Structure 1
């Protein structure tokens, strides 16, 4: 039996070594042959089979290299799409995962000599978002799948339609409020008849009794005095008279809730029911990390900017002081309140999505007073907005 036959220890050891990845410079893509050392690669290059493959390569080298280049790029992006579709990850990590399959198309057969050149190519062609950091090159896959783009367009279309419908409803409500203001009587207007004067009650010299005319069937004893007393009671009755408006009773002297206030209150309640959600994260706001699990890494109570939203409840946070990008659930995040006069975004409640300016802060009730800027509610002042419903804009 020969020393290198099938079941000898030497042959078994060679097969075990051949299963793993070896150095890239000792791999021949044309023959798909992996050599373990420089001497083995030299012997392979001198073999007859390799010489025949090189003759084929020499007939059209550009076409073969372009074919390997396209196959390498396609396989690399396919791996990115499957494993890291929505993540920002180091290029070396993705490359190490890709070459774990020893039968992959090796980079030494493509037009790129290094991984850096390949990453720059992905950035130039717009297939990935590329970022150079002190820790190396980071890439993010750009999903250009037709189905994904179609869903994104439908989502944007629905959002725009909802905004247009909401603005239309707001305009209708504002018109109703204006009509109600025009039809509403003035509260402090004097309602007693013009041309009449109130005469004081005085006792007659003859000591006769004074009769009050309270109805059409009453018979006064003194005609003039009954007229005077009637005017006095009519004035007192007019001062306490109630005017019916839209089913709401309004006193002329003021003090009760007007129909306009009730209409605006109903409008606020309707908007609150529609826009109050159990998720509040949005891109471009500054949040504070409150996860104690990240305290050892120095991220606890550190601030960052929300760069991306994943499934409504998870955000990719780019830290401001300690560089890095974290993926954290909103339960472990907290809104940030700026200084007085700073810009905030209303992240939940009736005016969700609107930008506003912070006017004052009530530290006892944990609420703030803000004024909306731009849009259909421009200039509207909100008195008591909870800290959780507003957040600083980066």
Structure 2
């Protein structure tokens, strides 16, 4: 058996040493060769293969160093993301874990001479949060993945929606207080007038009876007289006919105009309370308008909302392919059915109610619907925008 044969102790020791890490100063990055001692590194530098690599390096040294720097940075950040994504850790700990792979890109081939310089570079570029402590440099990975950014955007949307709701409530409370202050002075006078209008007056003279009544919200008094042998008739104090007294300048009765105003006030209050910046709900048919999904064949295709996630994201089941997607509401559009179809009011005063589509005004981009079921059963909404109604899956 020879001196350096395969199974000799010296050959086995050399193979064991070659498997582990050696000193960085005896490593040649251009040739990717690790030498075990200074003499071996000197012999390698004098070799013909190393000289050829150095000629290639001399032609464009900056480009090669930048390439090694980018590769070192990407591998380091990949290890940081995989092993210490949500923790604050010492930079030396991460670096020691990174160099465990003997085939890694060494730092002496990059633009950074020391680990401190590289850590400062990560802090300046905003890729990591860097802290200098008496125990050394500590770094924290800053997650910039699309999924994380998407979740942060959802949190920001929810926070903004909560702030908007609080501001709306405050404005509504202030308006109610102002309205109460304005009406506070006139409430006493109106109560007195109503009490006088409801007085019942009886007179025994001539066997006649007089009753004063009020019609609607008018201040006119009606006297009903009954005489012997005469028919019943209505006599007004001012001698004005019923039609003339009961109608205002616009031709509407006082009772009708007051009722219309009450309905308008009610709808305005419901509009303020039910108008939100999110409109997705389960069981409606929507159209996907995301151009990013155009290559996959989902652009302008219809789907059914099966689940709503965090108010702004819908789990969509495509009608044709039955594939399930998660799409933000900003990339979705409501669908209007044919005349007579069932829709759901997804935003506004009657939010959450089902209605029947009666007609469509394409010029004004609005529709006429009639509420079905519930406390507003039968109520007709004359002009509701396309964005506030959506087709219901049958």
**TM-score (norm. length: structure 2):** 0.44
